[in-house]
Chain A
Amino acid sequence: AVIQVHSLQELRRSASLATKVFVQRDYSDGTTCQFQTNFPPELESRIERQLFEETVKTLNGFYAEAEKIGGSSYLEGCLACATAYFIFLCMETHYEKVLKKISKYIQEQNEKIYAPRGLLLTDPLERGMRVIEISIYEDRCSSGSSSSGSSSSSSGGGGGGAGGR
């Protein structure tokens, strides 16, 4: 586990970012938080489709659980209302608990699956729940590896730069 953590940190610091892929929200179910499960073409050569879809589906499941309207959420809501919402000062909401689970899950996925493939998932919470940002890193060993070649052809190159067109 220590070695894996190392590679994740090193990935962030030392590998160079080739491009970023954004998985957008899927609003067909309304305003609930769901992400599209289409497989982005840039990831074609980097990760198996099934693994990726599995990740997105699990995330969607977590968000559905967080936003579920049912007995326990009603209870929490009524209790909060009865205390004039002062209870939120000391108690963590159900949603927040699920978000913690999500963040753990994402970290675990990164360590086990994505970092070894030179990819990094960013928690959607850090992007305003709009996108799942997947950073694609270039391989340092191979000069001009095929993967970075194909991914950089699809976008304007370096991430983060203004005028990236």
Chain B
Amino acid sequence: MTPGGGSGPMKDCEYSQISTHSSSSPMESPHKKKKSVPKRKWEVFPGRNKFFCNGRIMMARQTGVFYLTLVLILVTSGLFFAFDCPYLSEKITPAIPAIGGILFFFVMGTLLRTSFSDPGVLPRATPDEAADLERQIDIANGSSSGGYRPPPRTKEVIINGQTVKLKYCFTCKIFRPPRASHCSLCDNCVERFDHHCPWVGNCVGKRNYRFFYMFILSLSFLTVFIFAFVITHVILRSQQAGFLNALKDSPARYPFTETNSVVCFFSVWSIVGLSGFHTYLISSNQTTNEDIKGSWSNKRGKENYNPYSYGNIFTNCCAALCGPLSPSLIDRRGFIQPDTPQLAGPSNGITMYGATQSQSNMCDQDQCIQSTKFVLQAAATPLLQSEPSITSEELPLPGKTTISGPCATLTLGQPTPPSSMPNLTSDTGLTDMIPLKEEHEGHQFLTPEEAPSPPGMLSSGSPITHSHTMHVLTLASQDSLHEDSVRGLVKLSSV
């Protein structure tokens, strides 16, 4: 037998074939099911997202406002086409409904693209990666970190002459790439995170920013178009018969015309304002997140400039809108390989660092909750339990959302751009939410899947009836996390 280490004729001795049936599948259940149906990755996706059409469509968890958006657009356009177009196409030109139709088609297409596509979610680190990173951080920190608070986990990188700090995400266990941010509503790190838009029911990030922009741009054109022609319609009729008569003329249409105008009037200002704002952002190659935080503003220092900007407006616009579209990294419809466990449960083997309040741009409260839980977990009993038959550990989902609280502030009447909810205000939104939930749900205050991001499969929610060991891991971890969070509850409530 030749000692290894070289190339050459080693194929016969090194990689002797062994039977693959039992060895590579400690995961497969002995005899719980006759045939285990392979699961698709979206079914065990750890973020708080909803999937439809077998993983083809991906949205945030709260989609109520998205349906409102759809209804508003459909109803307004429908009324326009039904009541104003016949008159206008006769009187003026049939091009009006044609153009309106094209605009409407474009608006719907881009809206659905924005809402249904993956905004650029970064998949969470595999256990090996996470362990490797932890090790490197330890080496970097040395053993000099005394006390409860080691220095925050950041890496510095120089991009185009500007120093950029990469932050470590406790939930996803990765160092976030530049411009990425963790969305606390969806519990995912998103690349080039712009903001989380409840109107669209999804985060807006690298992969769907251009769709979002085209949506608001075309929607501004559509609302202006409809508004203008509704007014034209009324004017034309009133020229014929006097204003009040014009309205009386079509008694059934009177409230519709009024509604249409009112809706359009408010929409015009807010949507057009928003489009203008995003046009500015695109031309300076910034995200809403960066703009709000003033990351690249001159106020921070004379040396501060945006390292991502290409220098001129035209290139920035082209890059944002016509640049290459990167693929989805989360492979929603792929099948789970039995020998590669997707994600570990909470990383109990890794030492828990205390809350690093300074480093995260998540809600501080969430971070605190999370890291307290980690501390508890680290002290908790081992995760793996031998009893795999944990059924109905399905933690009760809150069902209909309680986000209606903060959403109430985003009514149409507010013409402030941006009217969609940037990440920062989502922090306040969350802090509003939690007391709301407390009222509604009593003792369920901090079920692990309410408070964002305990790592692992908690938020998948779907009843996991498989007994793959992988799922045993996750169920077991759900279970003990639940216990831990209850313990955490007790501790937190005493704070």
Identify the A interface with B (CB < 8 A). 3, 6-7, 10-11, 13-15, 20, 22, 25, 27-31, 45-46, 66-69, 73-74, 76-78, 80-81, 84-86, 88, 93-96, 99, 116-118, 125-131, 133, 139-142, 145-147, 155-156, 159-165
- Interface contact tally, CB-CB below 8 A: 184
CA distance A104 to B14 in the complex (A): 25
Per a CB cutoff under 8 Å, which of B106, B192, B330, B349 touches A84?
B106
Measuring CB to CB, which residues of chain B are less than 8 angstroms from any residue of chain A? Answer: 1-5, 7, 10-11, 13-18, 20, 23-24, 105-106, 109-110, 113, 122-123, 125-129, 131-135, 157-160, 164, 166, 174, 177-179, 191-192, 210-211, 214, 307-308, 315, 318-319, 321-327, 329-331, 341, 344-345, 347-351, 383
**Contact assessment for B321 and A81 in the assembled complex, using a CB-CB cutoff below 8 Å:** yes
> Which residues of the partner chain B approach A127 to less than 8 Å between Cβ atoms?
123, 126, 129
Whole-angstrom CA separation of A27 from B191 in the bound complex: 13
- What is the distance, in angstroms, from A85's C-beta to the closest C-beta of chain B? 5
| Alpha-carbon distance between A139 and B7 when the two chains are bound, in angstroms | 12
A165 with B349: CB separation less than 8 A: yes
State the CA gap A25–B175 with chains docked (Å): 10
Cross-chain contact A15 with B14 (CB below 8 angstroms): yes
Check A30–B308 contact: CB distance below 8 A. yes
Cβ B159 vs Cβ A29 within 8 A? yes
B122 A22 Cβ-Cβ under 8 A: no
Q: Are B329 and A131 in contact, CB atoms less than 8 angstroms apart? A: no
Q: A125 to chain B: which residues have CB within 8 Å? A: 327, 329
For the complex, what is the distance from the CA of A94 to the CA of B134, rounded to whole Å? 36
How far is the CB of A15 from the nearest CB of chain B, in Å? Answer: 6
- The 8 Å CB contact of B179, one of A10, A31, A46, A73, is A31
Decide if A139 touches B131 in the complex (CB within 8 Å): no
Contact A84 B105, beta carbon cutoff 8 Å: yes
Asked whether, in the complex, the Cβ of A160 is within 8 Å of the Cβ of B129, the reply is no
Q: A3-B11, A125-B329, A127-B129 in contact; A162/B1 too (CB < 8 A)?
A: no
The answer, among B177, B211, B318, for a CB contact under 8 Å with A85, is B211
Q: Which 4 pairs, one residue from A and one from B, show the smallest C-beta to C-beta distance?
A: A77-B322, A163-B349, A139-B4, A84-B109
A81/B322 in contact, CB under 8 A = yes
Whether B327 and A74, one on each chain, are in contact in the complex, defined by CB atoms closer than 8 angstroms, is no
Give A94 to B403 CA distance when docked, in angstroms: 39
Among residues of A, the one whose C-beta sits closest to the C-beta of B114 is: A85
Given contacts A20-B128, A77-B322, A85-B110, contact A147 B159 (CB under 8 A): no
Give bound CA distance, A93 to B326, whole Å: 9
Interfacial chain A residues near B128, Cβ < 8 Å = 20, 22, 133, 159-160, 164
Given contacts A125-B327, A162-B127, contact A142 B16 (CB under 8 A): no
Least Cβ–Cβ distance between A49 and chain B, in angstroms = 16
